[in-house]
Structure 1
Amino acid sequence: MAFKQSDIVTPQEPPLPAEDVHLPERGFTINRRKAAAVALVCWLGWGIMVWLVLKNGTIGIDRAGLLWFRTGADLQARGGIWVVEAVRDITALGGVLLSTLVTVAAVVALMFLKLRREAVLFALTVILGWGLNTLMKTVIGRDRPNLVPHLSDAAGLSFPSGHSFASAMIYIGMALAFASLSQRHSVRYLLIASAMVLSAFIAWSRVLLGVHYPSDAIAGWLGGAAWAFTAAALLYKPARAAAETDTVAHLDPRTG
């Protein structure tokens, strides 16, 4: 295919030779036994939260958590409008739009890094996780809190928090995928721990906005984290098999 001269970029400096560009070593995997152990702990925590909610055992913590960020007779947020805007910015990281964009960008980046197995695993984690979260909401069923004014629009059922589940599932799942680029435990643990902290902030932001009970956020985060680690442990072999198919190969952005 011939290109017009106007389509050709003229470099200001000599271009970097292709052979001088090196990707980091790849092929390291997450320890699936450790992932399964963490998943078990998170699922146990999630099960306890479900039991407490069904037994009305979270009324005290739910009320205290919602009122903690509020002040005055009209129960407005502490700290003023800039604090509210900051909380809204944090919660947006777990919203459908941004979390979807992050997921797509991460999958493409993993493909560029020749990490097809991790790309497929992460995609499966998110796709199946959304269905799992919807099932949880349908089975449990719970109306949103009306104790304090809502500082953000929210619809649908309250338990578990979809933002909390999605942020834990996506950011922890993404950290597990990119952790395969390093063979150092310290780097892996730092990456995964950072994702856990970030997703926890997103979960708590839902409580600060008044659209979820603390028990919603805790259960959502535990469920999302549990699923991310469960997927890393159980979906590894199916993801590896799928990554070796011609269909996934054709989706590789480095080909064509």
Structure 2
Amino acid sequence: MARGRTSWAAARRSRPFPQNSAGTGMAADLGMAALSVRGRSRRPPPAAPSPAQVLKCRAWWSGPMLARCLRSVPTVKDRSMGSIATDEHAGAPSRAIGGRLRTWSPPAVAATAAVAGSILLTIVLVAIGFVITRSSLSPRIVGWDGSVERWIELHRTAALNRWTDVGSILGGTGTILVVAGTSIAVMVIRRLWYDAGLLGMALSIEFTTFLATTTVIDRPRPTIVPLDPIPVTSSFPSGHMGAAIATYVGLGIVLSSHLRRAAVRVAIWVVAPVVPIYVGLSRVYRGMHHPTDVMASVVLGVGALCFALLAVHAAAVAADRRRDRRVETPKLRERSEVRT
């Protein structure tokens, strides 16, 4: 065999290099490969393949692997979903409802969950009202309410009258409509549909539950001198307190989900619960509600928020399931066409 055509393997066997280190062996391999290539041909080495050629050559085996990896990466949510409507925030009930109603539209899923939550919350509030007004514990509860109200009436001052007037206004119908309406309008303009739906459904659940409960539990107002005009509705529960919780705490949930600074979120969660407490104490001070009315309204407001969150998360889960089905259906069709 000619010297120029001596193969690399034969040259490697005839003149072995010491294998004392990995670096020496690698240098020997590279050197013999260079000599072999130079001896075989005078032509320049072939050009490196382009990225398009590499992708084309490897697409037949890397396609399924790449698709599997992309499915495992969390997808970015739509801007319209907001930060509160994510899979990691959804609990087991929301995922169960959204998965079962995945063929429904998200508004229909949210409305169904909200109506069911309003019915359940009304049953709970009516049961609490019966315990307070028509059970064997009623005399003790009514007596305790009366003693607290008489003590408050004896310790009224002009300054407290002014401060409690502000607290009562914060939970009034006009203030709640302005605050909630403005917030929902801003969310709609920014296309934060799920955030707007949370606040709107919380107030809707609170209002319908309040009307149904106050109609069934016709509790009279306190006997002390009132500082505000007497509303048409009965005393149980406090609509001001429930609406304040649904509005201000609901806004706290929405704002904290969009803010990253811990100090700002802490400030929000300090202010958000304080406002409803301020409203409830003001309503008791001004003779509009019994103390137990305000306590039961905590269940009303918190329950309305919980069922609104459940409805929003269920709607988000249903939307994700529908989106996944739309993505998977063309893939199944393509596979069936390839097989045929």
TM, length-normalised to structure 1: 0.68
Residue in structure 2 matched with residue 29 of structure 1 by the alignment:
84
> Cα offset for 1:168?
1.2
Contact 1:137 1:157 in 2 (8 A): yes
Residue in structure 1 matched with residue 18 of structure 2 by the alignment:
none
2:238 equivalent among 156, 161, 165: 161
Contact 1:65 1:207 in 2 (8 A): no
* Aligned mates of 1:101, 1:167 — CA distance in 2: 12
Structure with higher Rg: it is 2
Residue in structure 1 matched with residue 157 of structure 2 by the alignment:
79
* Aligned mates of 1:210, 1:29 — CA distance in 2: 38
Residue in structure 2 matched with residue 108 of structure 1 by the alignment:
185
1:220 equivalent among 290, 297, 306: 297
Residue in structure 2 matched with residue 132 of structure 1 by the alignment:
209
Give me the CA root mean square deviation.
Answer: 3.3
Residue in structure 1 matched with residue 173 of structure 2 by the alignment:
96
Contact 1:136 1:160 in 2 (8 A): yes
* Aligned mates of 1:188, 1:157 — CA distance in 2: 37
* Aligned mates of 2:125, 2:90 — CA distance in 1: 20
Residue in structure 2 matched with residue 66 of structure 1 by the alignment:
149
Q: Percent identity?
A: 23
Alignment of 1:198-217 (within 5 A): 198-217=275-294
Provide the secondary structure at the position in 2 that maps to 1:69. Answer: helix
> Cα offset for 1:33?
4.0
Q: Which letter maps to 2:142? A: I
> Cα offset for 1:59?
1.8
* Aligned mates of 1:52, 1:129 — CA distance in 2: 20
* Aligned mates of 2:261, 2:314 — CA distance in 1: 23
> Cα offset for 1:193?
4.7
* Aligned mates of 2:199, 2:259 — CA distance in 1: 17
> Cα offset for 1:234?
2.9
| CA 1:150–1:233: 2 relative to 1, 3 Å | same
Residue in structure 1 matched with residue 62 of structure 2 by the alignment:
none
Q: Which letter maps to 2:225? A: P
Contact 2:82 2:194 in 1 (8 A): no
Residue in structure 1 matched with residue 7 of structure 2 by the alignment:
none
Contact 2:238 2:294 in 1 (8 A): yes
* Aligned mates of 2:256, 2:126 — CA distance in 1: 28
| CA 1:53–1:178: 2 relative to 1, 3 Å | farther
TM, length-normalised to structure 2: 0.53
* Aligned mates of 1:48, 1:205 — CA distance in 2: 26
| CA 1:235–1:78: 2 relative to 1, 3 Å | same
Alignment of 1:35-46 (within 5 A): none
* Aligned mates of 1:89, 1:35 — CA distance in 2: 39
* Aligned mates of 1:229, 1:86 — CA distance in 2: 30
Contact 1:203 1:221 in 2 (8 A): no
Stretches of structure 2 lacking an aligned partner (at least 5 in a row): 1-80, 95-116, 320-340
> Cα offset for 1:180?
1.9
| CA 1:70–1:214: 2 relative to 1, 3 Å | same
> Cα offset for 1:145?
1.3
* Aligned mates of 2:92, 2:226 — CA distance in 1: 39
> Cα offset for 1:47?
7.8
Provide the secondary structure at the position in 1 that maps to 2:176. Answer: helix
* Aligned mates of 2:283, 2:237 — CA distance in 1: 11
| CA 1:194–1:46: 2 relative to 1, 3 Å | farther
| CA 1:240–1:88: 2 relative to 1, 3 Å | farther
Residue in structure 1 matched with residue 331 of structure 2 by the alignment:
none
